[in-house]
């Protein structure tokens, strides 16, 4: 919820995403508890996994929010990503890797270029994950709007 401070809450897009996420995060697990055994895929293991996931309020709300935020078009500023990019400081000093890196396998992560796009990896580069290295709006435009 703390990351909502960077999101444009005057945008109907963001209000719809937030509302649907909260609503379905409350309704689907309630429906699952009222209708036990409603999921029948033919595999008892898959049925159990889906039942547990759909009965968890945080998972349902988070997944719906993730799905809607990444499928409904919106600018980087509207989504709060520009402010988050400015807040994320990338440092190449060795102590950052020592303190925030994984206990082992950091050399392998450095070799894999795909880990630059995963925000939970110490090799994450926030400017490298934008398509073609461009954003929706230039930083000068955003600074004048703030």
Tens digit of each residue's pLDDT (9 = 90 or more) over 65-110: 999 998 999 888 888 877 766 665 554 555 655 666 666 777 777 7
Distance CA 56, CA 60 (A): 6
What pLDDT is recorded for position 88? 56
What pLDDT is recorded for position 78? 85
What pLDDT is recorded for position 117? 79
What pLDDT is recorded for position 114? 82
* Strand, helix or coil for residue 15: helix
Supply the pTM of this predicted model: 0.60
Please report where in the chains the tokens 């392998």 appear, as a residue: 108
Distances from the Cα of 43 to the Cα of 31, 36, 39, angstroms: 21, 16, 10
User: How many residues in the chain?
Assistant: 146
Tens digit of each residue's pLDDT (9 = 90 or more) over 6-16: 788 889 999 99
* Strand, helix or coil for residue 20: helix
Is the separation of the CB atoms in 28 and 60 below 8 Å? yes
Does 116 score more than 70 pLDDT?
Answer: yes
């Amino acid at each position: 919820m703390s990351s909502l401070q960077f999101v444009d809450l005057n945008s109907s897009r963001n209000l719809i995403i937030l509302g649907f996420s909260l609503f379905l995060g409350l309704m689907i697990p309630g429906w699952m508890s009222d209708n036990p055994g409603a999921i029948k895929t033919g595999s008892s293991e898959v049925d159990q996994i889906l039942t547990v996931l759909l009965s968890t309020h945080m998972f349902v709300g988070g997944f719906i929010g993730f799905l809607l935020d990444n499928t409904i078009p919106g600018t980087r500023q509207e989504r709060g990503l520009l402010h988050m990019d400015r807040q994320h400081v990338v440092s190449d000093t060795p102590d950052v890797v020592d303190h925030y890196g994984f206990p082992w396998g950091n050399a392998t992560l450095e070799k894999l270029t795909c880990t630059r796009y995963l925000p939970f990896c110490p090799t994450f580069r926030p400017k490298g994950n934008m398509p073609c290295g461009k954003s929706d709006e230039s930083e000068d435009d955003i600074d004048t709007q703030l």
